[in-house]
Structure 1
Amino acid sequence: MNKLTTSTAIPTRALKLEALSKISASFELFCLASGMEALGEMMDRDAQAICGPRHARGRNRRAHRWGKTKGKIGFHGGKVEIERPRLRGFDGKEQPVPSWEAAVAEDWLGKWAMNQMLINVATRKFARSVRLPEGDVPGPAGAGLSKSAASRRFVALSAARTRDWMASDLSGLDLLVIQIDGIHMDEDLILVAAIGVDVKGDKHPLGLAEGATENAATVQSLIDNLVERGLDPAVPRLFIIDGAKALSKAIRRTFGRAAAIQRCQIHKARNIMERLPKSLHASVRCVLRQAWELDDAAKAERLIRNLAQRLERDWSGVAGSILEGIDEILTVTRLGLPKELQRSLACTNIIENAMSTVRRVCRNVKRWRSASMAMRWTAAAMQEAARGFRRLKAHKQLPTLRAALEAHHNKDSHGNIARQAIAA
């Protein structure tokens, strides 16, 4: 059997009939030929609308036919050649064919490349992932299937989407919770990311900032970007972090000293366990779990302080670590939130899940050439993760969080007024 080709030397209708006669073995080519024929008919109608019928004369003509040329359009992640008419205006300039311009305007090739990269298809295998090696639609040189072509399209589209995302307006999001965490991309490169939860329980990736370390300056640049894009610092919110002091410092600098900050209880327990012998793990974990589950913040704090006191003699460093940041570790308890909502907001699981998607998407990258490259990949991965976001499990209890945050904010405001009056 002779192998079918997509050479544009064959008229599209003849190609379609040839593929139709062998449709059982060449359905893909039949679809391609049908699309080429349909596009050819659309271009002929456009040419007739602009130039009038062939060999006709009339005052309504805006151009005249100027032969045909070959052009390339996107198909199955690559390009195929197709003949298109050329139109020349009476001023001697090329006139566009509307249907052709519409066919090539949509960046389907960039979307194909983006999608393949996000599902971990290596650029070296891109051609095989979109065109069967034994298929009837060939992938010759210049078809846009090479690893460099796929990489260029991914870079262009991911850069454009990152710019749009980092400049998007946040003023329309009624955010109650913001989680901030960092991910190490390289030895001297860290990205700090933020994810917000609105009053309906929907999760939104908010932004990224790059830095050499997870210091206050890096976090501050992220927060400044969020504020510039419409995040109101005066609105009380709950901030959930992994415990880095730089995060707390930057948050309090922008949102006030009394900003509600919850340190991740899972990170806290993990850090404590890593410094203790296995013989103490069960007892210490039991005490911490009891403290997390208590409704009374004072009792929970007393329980944690008693644990630190018992460990003081033999494990003084661990005892100090237990007490470090004790105010922030019990924030959700002090706010008086329902149990289910406490469990959802006492840890950074939301952003950790997004970071796991980032690691999966970026696992084929062997070397980060620049911070902008890491930003592009991470932004694309976070937007990919957002497709799988589900509403917060305890979303029906979020009005309770709003009321608690407002009460906390008002209490702090009244306290500041009283202190100022005493000082005066």
Structure 2
Amino acid sequence: MPLPLVEVWEQLQARVEQLAGEAGLQILHGILEEEVRQRVGPPYRPDPAAGAVRWGRQPGYVVFGGQKIPLDRPRVRTRDAEEVELESYGQLQQDGRMQRAVAEGIVCGLSTRKYRRAVESVLEGYGIRKSSVSRHCVRATAHQLRQLCERRLEKLNLVALLIDGLEFKGQTLIVALGVEESGSKHLLGLWQGATENATVCTALLEDLVARGLSTERRYLFVLDGSKALRAAVEKVFGTRAEVQRCQWHKRCNVRDHLPEGCRGDYDRQLRNAYAMTRYEDAKAALEKIFRQLERINPSAARSLEEGMEETLTLHRLGVGPLLRRSLSTTNLIESCLSTVRHVARNVTRWQGGDHRVRWAAAGLLEAEKKFRKVKGYRELKELAAKLNLGLHSQAQVA
């Protein structure tokens, strides 16, 4: 007769999961026993040539399933009665394993209060109360922040750098993102500042150079229109840097100066102008909009005129529509902020120090896991050749 398999599984599922957890513990026992056997020899038959002997067991723990699980560890001593540390036990007990498990759970939406309920479903352990989980989370996010801010950049074949300031929980965080010639995106760093002032912006660019970003190559810098960022780029990289002003920010700035009734019409005209393929056509269309705005709202006209040429840098370089759409705005960075907000949604009290920047780093690294190549990435090689025409010519001669 056929068995009701679904009903049987519902009754046995908890027990099967428990057996799987116990089997994992047996494997960890086996790992420890194997190291002892290699150091001492088989049980009750110690190797006379070995310089150590078994010395009973002692209560201990290993990190397993995102928590600390009690485990009796074997002890080994030298023949002079000195304790011998087991390498495998130290690896299974590393706090880094616990911190990574906590970080993954918190990023996926677990709160520090609910973490214990989530991981105790298989085995009963300890070290997973709210206060312990919070401490592990602090250490894990601090490690992620160091990992992000200390990345070496020598091996990255970067073509474009996007820099933007983000308002996050009452503070300004400046994020740098790089696009390689292959189309891959990489987070380059995260800086904390009260505002996007020139001192902070210059410090972040100098930090990128210190971590391996070459100043001999020419890059395309995509900026949001901040004067401090523009001045910092010119100070560190000189006039050789090509700057693309974010077209989305430019449209927003112009729109904010206009009355409610005509915002949609002029925003549509700006969007159509930036969508043109030829540089001459796009510039002529913007100049026509500028003359119209001069008659109805001089403030909006001045906003459009300021930095207008830099909003057409990609047009001037002859970049195709697909890649131009990816690099004409700072949306590649803006999209990361939604992940940052999602990761930090359970935080209710923001404290001083590096609390915000740690959570922002955790969210940015989570967003980086989902990065794809930029649209139009096949044109990046040609863009890199245009930016570094002299270097490419020297490479071909060599």
TM-score, structure 1 normalization? 0.83
**Equivalent-residue separation in structure 1 for 2:388 and 2:271 (angstroms):** 28
- Relative to 1, partners in 2 of residues 1:137 and 1:290: Cα closer, same or farther, differing over 3 Å? closer
Cα separation, 2, equivalents of 1:24 and 1:282: 58
CA contact (8 A) 1:236 1:409 kept: no
Structure 1 pair 93–404 and aligned structure 2 pair: CA distance change class (3 A): same
- Structure 1 window deviating more from structure 2 (259-268 vs 285-294): it is 285-294
Distance in 2 (alpha carbons) for counterparts of 1:359 and 1:58: 59
Could you tell me which of 238, 246, 254 is aligned with 1:256? 238
The match for 1:207 among 189, 192, 201 is 189
Which of 79, 87, 106 is residue 117 of structure 1 equivalent to? 106
Q: Are 2:152 and 1:162 equivalent residues in the alignment? A: no
Q: Distance in 2 between matches of 1:184 and 1:177?
A: 23
Q: 1:152 aligns with which of 128, 135, 146?
A: 135
Counterpart of 2:301 (choices 316, 319, 336) is: 319
- Report the Cα distance in structure 1 between the residues aligned to 2:181 and 2:245, rounded to whole angstroms: 21
Cα RMSD for the two superposed structures = 2.4
Q: Secondary structure at the match of 2:160?
A: strand
Q: Which residue of 1 aligns with 2:162?
A: 179
SS class of match (1:391):
coil
Q: Using a 3 Å threshold, how does the CA distance of structure 1 residues 204 and 41 change in structure 2: closer, same or farther?
A: closer
Quick check: 116-125 or 367-376, which moved more?
Answer: 367-376
> Does 1:287 pair with 2:269?
yes
Q: Does 1:28 align with 2:14?
A: no
Displacement of 1:107 after TM fit? 3.2
Return the match for 1:387 from 348, 365, 369: 369
Counterpart Cα distance in 2 of 1:167 and 1:54? 47
1:70, 1:82 within 8 Å by CA — same for their partners in 2? Answer: yes
The 5 A counterparts of 1:261-340 are 261-340=243-322
Identity rate, percent:
34
Distance in 2, matches of 1:336 and 1:312, equals 29
1:120-131 equivalent positions in 2, closer than 5 A: 120-131=109-120
1:295 partner letter: T
Q: Are residue 65 (structure 1) and residue 63 (structure 2) matched?
A: no
- Structure 2 stretches of 5 or more lacking a match? 1-10, 393-398
SS in 1 for 2:254: helix
- 2:221 maps to 239
What amino acid is the match of 2:336?
A
CA separation of 1:409 and 1:251: change in aligned 2, threshold 3 A: farther
Aligned pair count? 382
Q: If you compute each CA radius of gyration, which structure gives the higher value, 1 or 2? A: 1
Partner Cα distance (1:191, 1:181) in 2: 8
After superposition, give the CA deviation of every residue in 1:267-325 in whole Å (9 maximum; x if it has no partner): 21122223322321232123212321233434433332332222224322111111111
Aligned counterparts of 2:282 and 2:358: Cα–Cα separation in 1:
43
3-state SS of paired residue (2:103):
helix
Q: C-alpha deviations, 1:104-133, integer Å up to 9, x for none?
A: 24733211111012122111111122223x
Q: For residues 97 and 307 of structure 2, what CA distance do their matches in structure 1 show?
A: 50
- TM-score, length of structure 2 as denominator length: 0.88
Shifted more, 308-317 versus 165-174: the winner is: 308-317
1:302 is aligned with what amino acid? A
Alpha-carbon separation, structure 2, partners of 1:205 and 1:117: 21
Deviations 1:124-157 (A, max 9, x none): 111122223xxx6335xxx011122122222222
Q: Secondary structure at the match of 2:174?
A: strand
1:245 maps to amino acid: K
- Alignment-derived partner of residue 400 in structure 1: 382
1:137 aligns with 2:119: no
Specify the alignment match of 1:7 in structure 2: none
Match of residue 90, structure 2, among 95, 101, 115: 101
1:317-372 Cα distance to aligned partner (Å, 9 max, x none): 11111111112111111112112222221111111111221122122223432342
Contact 1:335 1:408 in 2 (8 A): no
Name 1:217's counterpart in structure 2: 199
